[in-house]
Amino acid sequence: MKTDQNRVFLAIVLSGFVLIGWQYFFAPKVKPGDIAQSTTQATQVSEPAKTNQAVVSQGTSDAQTSAPTEVAVANSEVYKLDFNSSSLSINSQGMISDIQAPNTVYPYKDIVGDEFKMSIGASSAQYKDRAFNFTNPTFNRETSSWTLTDESTSTVLRIQETEKFFNFIISGPTATKLSFFFSTTAKTSENKRPREYVYFDGSAQRYSIAKDHADEGKLKWFGLDFHYHLFAFVNDSQLYTYNLSESGAAKFSMLNEANEHSFKLVFVKKNYDLLSAIGDNVDQAVDFGFFGIVAVPILRVLQYLHRYIPNYGIAIIILTIIIRMLTFPLQFKSFKSMKKMQTIQPDIAKLKEKFKDDPQRMQKETMELFKRSGANPLGGCLPMILQMPIFIAFYQVLSNSVELVGAPFYFWLTDLSVKDHFYVLPVLMGIVMFFQSKLNPTPMTDPTQKKMMMFMPIVFTFIMKDLPSGLNLYMTVSITLGIAQQLLVYRLSE
């Protein structure tokens, strides 16, 4: 009969495989294809403006100056915003600076795709459902604001630049319901991650561009998630209806009418602290998953360590040591229990032979043996249970935090947020995992169990090979420290 320890041990390990494998194998798949035309005229916005050099720091000395039809607003070297007749488009021709790595630049199209468009329209009895045609932009240097006008409706758009976002104010002679239209060609963005529509209605909700979705709710903010960048509108929790299309088009429409509407436009790198400073729960756009309560402290500790050690790889190693030290008292008890289990294996074998025809009696005698010896068949599984939330939280931090994007370690590991292209760390992790399995105090007599335990390091290596190198670094160091701790406890127990 299989021991309870083997069963629980295998259950926990296989549960880990399911959690990791689900993320690995069942992530949203990218559907190829061109963008479909929008079903309404409002979403048929014009082509993105071409690159130009008319930024806010240039122009005449007049307080109020006329601007060309196509202008660009630069904001803290984070993004440019183009105005061209009927749409507000993210400039897809220029380059964007990386604040964390000043010598690194990315083409805008790598972030927003070859064609990303958005427009603001009116939904009312008078205007039906149409996009505003804002033209004649002027810039006021005293207020650092732009003014654009839709001549046909006498609607005025004022945009004021701040350090973190743009303030939008739309006012007109008639009360209207605003609608926000988006369209994008590609289903993936940076690092081939799926693009998602994201909105906040009390919690962050995400919908892949690969499927349709329609609903209504009180939204605090909404927009597009480009994985490491966020394009979103933040308002005062208006009631909206929204339609998200598999084609890449989306429409968010207010249900209340007003002569003036104000909101923020945010297009920033998803730095957790920056998003927290914006407020309105925009920081929930950083998806730390179910174990976010663990992931945020991990990120904070890494940031703290990085202040004094300018290498996130070393910071990960130090944090791993800290975690191992904090959990060692519980692990010490677990390892002692595992050692006791190893000691009573001959007695368990005798009970199996003696009561092989009476499983119930054998189970009863085995439990009494555990009680007399002080062994706990479940004790050895506790370290794995403790590690699982930390492992998943570490994965989310390394996969979603821009703080670690481009963070080098040493030698060939130039970016801890991407996989090890030479697969050195995954293979090394598989090797130390193999040695750890040899410390299992319960010899397995079932051939199936033996094969599973033999191939487990290989399977785990295959799963880990395309995950962030920072996560592989953590796993390798953590397992190595676990082996050292286990050997120490065994030595002290002799």
Domain assignment of residue 59, given as a range: 41-278
Query: Does residue 95 belong to any structural domain of this protein?
Result: yes
Buried b (16+ CB within 10 A) or exposed e, 135-173: eebebeeeeebbbbbbeebebbbbbbbeebbbebebebe
Query: Does residue 287 belong to any structural domain of this protein?
Result: no
Q: According to the per-residue pLDDT averaged within each range, which of 158-167, 241-250, 347-356, 456-465 is highest? A: 456-465
Q: Distance between CA 118 and CA 131 in Å, rounded?
A: 10
Indicate whether 36 pLDDT > 60: no
Q: Do 350 and 431 sit in the same domain of this protein?
A: yes
Indicate whether 374 pLDDT > 90: no
* pLDDT tens digits along 204-234: 888 777 677 888 888 888 888 877 778 888 8
Q: Distance between CA 150 and CA 462 in Å, rounded?
A: 57
Q: Tell me if 183 sits within 8 A of 248, measured CB to CB.
A: yes
Q: Tell me if 270 sits within 8 A of 228, measured CB to CB.
A: yes
Indicate whether 431 pLDDT > 90: yes
| Beta strand residue intervals within 226-349, DSSP E | 229-244, 250-254, 258-269
Indicate whether 442 pLDDT > 60: no
Q: Distance between CA 118 and CA 484 in Å, rounded?
A: 56
pLDDT of residue 426: 93
Q: Tell me if 254 sits within 8 A of 235, measured CB to CB.
A: no
Is 485 or 314 the better-scoring residue by pLDDT? 314
Residue with tokens 């009418």: 257
Q: Are strands 229-244 and 105-107 parallel, antiparallel or unpaired?
A: unpaired
Amino acid at residue number 443: P
**How confident is the model over 398-413, as a mean pLDDT?**
83
The burial class, CB within 10 Å (0-12 / 13-18 / 19+), for 282 is: buried
Q: Distance between CA 490 and CA 350 in Å, rounded?
A: 24
Q: Distance between CA 434 and CA 428 in Å, rounded?
A: 10
* Helix, strand or coil, per DSSP, at residue 302: helix
Indicate whether 488 pLDDT > 90: no
The mean pLDDT of the chain is 70
Q: Do 460 and 363 sit in the same domain of this protein?
A: yes
Query: Does residue 289 belong to any structural domain of this protein?
Result: no
pLDDT of residue 108: 44
Q: Do 410 and 375 sit in the same domain of this protein?
A: yes
Give bridge partners of residue 326 from the DSSP assignment. none
Nearest Cα residue to 88 out of 116, 58, 123: 116
Q: Which two tokens stand for residue 477?
A: 């160091």
**How confident is the model over 441-451, as a mean pLDDT?**
57
Query: Does residue 32 belong to any structural domain of this protein?
Result: no
Last residue of one domain, picked from the residues 278, 303, 326: 278
Q: Do 172 and 303 sit in the same domain of this protein?
A: no
Extract long-range pairs of 184-188: CB within 8 Å, 24+ residues apart. Answer: 184/35, 184/112, 184/113, 184/115, 184/116, 184/117, 184/209, 184/224, 184/248, 185/34, 185/35, 185/113, 185/114, 185/115, 185/116, 185/248, 186/113, 186/114, 186/248, 187/30, 187/31, 187/248, 188/30
Nearest Cα residue to 198 out of 184, 185, 208: 208
For 237, which DSSP code? E
Amino acid at residue number 64: Q
* Helix, strand or coil, per DSSP, at residue 9: helix
Query: Does residue 365 belong to any structural domain of this protein?
Result: yes
Q: Do 319 and 193 sit in the same domain of this protein?
A: no
Q: Do 113 and 18 sit in the same domain of this protein?
A: no
Task: Please report, for residues 23, 28, 204, 421, the alpha-carbon distance to residue 427 in angstroms, rounded to integers and kept in the order given.
Answer: 20, 27, 37, 12
Q: Tell me if 305 sits within 8 A of 268, measured CB to CB.
A: no
Q: Which two tokens stand for residue 290?
A: 């179910």
Supply φ then ψ for residue 438, to 5 degrees.
-70, -15
pLDDT of residue 6: 46
Q: Do 306 and 252 sit in the same domain of this protein?
A: no
Q: Distance between CA 276 and CA 280 in Å, rounded?
A: 8
Q: Distance between CA 388 and CA 291 in Å, rounded?
A: 10
* pLDDT tens digits along 247-261: 777 888 888 888 888
pLDDT of residue 214: 81
Indicate whether 296 pLDDT > 50: yes
Indicate the helix (H) or strand (E) that contains 429.
helix 424-437
Q: Do 391 and 473 sit in the same domain of this protein?
A: yes
Indicate whether 190 pLDDT > 70: no
pLDDT above 70 covers a percentage of the chain that reads 64
Confidence of residue 62 (pLDDT cuts 50, 70, 90): very low
Confidence of residue 427 (pLDDT cuts 50, 70, 90): very high
Q: According to the per-residue pLDDT averaged within each range, which of 77-86, 107-116, 130-139 is highest? A: 130-139
Number of domains comprising the chain = 2
Confidence of residue 45 (pLDDT cuts 50, 70, 90): very low
Q: Do 17 and 48 sit in the same domain of this protein?
A: no
Q: Which two tokens stand for residue 204?
A: 């962050």
Q: How many CB atoms lie within 10 A of CB 58?
A: 11
Query: Does residue 410 belong to any structural domain of this protein?
Result: yes
Is 270 or 78 the better-scoring residue by pLDDT? 270
Last residue of one domain, picked from the residues 278, 312, 338: 278
Is 59 or 276 the better-scoring residue by pLDDT? 276
Q: Distance between CA 60 and CA 69 in Å, rounded?
A: 16
Amino acid at residue number 183: S
Choose the weakest-confidence range: 191-200, 209-218, 444-453. 444-453
Is 326 or 444 the better-scoring residue by pLDDT? 326
Indicate whether 46 pLDDT > 50: no
Indicate whether 161 pLDDT > 60: yes
**How confident is the model over 303-324, as a mean pLDDT?**
91
Q: Tell me if 199 sits within 8 A of 214, measured CB to CB.
A: no
Q: Distance between CA 395 and CA 389 in Å, rounded?
A: 10
* Helix, strand or coil, per DSSP, at residue 164: coil
CATH label of the domain that carries residue 178: 2.70.98
Buried b (16+ CB within 10 A) or exposed e, 201-239: beebbebbbbeeeeeebebbbbbbbbbbbbbbbbbeebe
Q: Do 260 and 362 sit in the same domain of this protein?
A: no
pLDDT of residue 429: 92
Query: Does residue 238 belong to any structural domain of this protein?
Result: yes
Choose the weakest-confidence range: 75-84, 136-145, 158-167. 75-84
Q: Do 166 and 260 sit in the same domain of this protein?
A: yes
Q: Do 265 and 136 sit in the same domain of this protein?
A: yes
Last residue of one domain, picked from the residues 247, 278, 309: 278
Query: Does residue 30 belong to any structural domain of this protein?
Result: no
Q: How many CB atoms lie within 10 A of CB 283?
A: 19
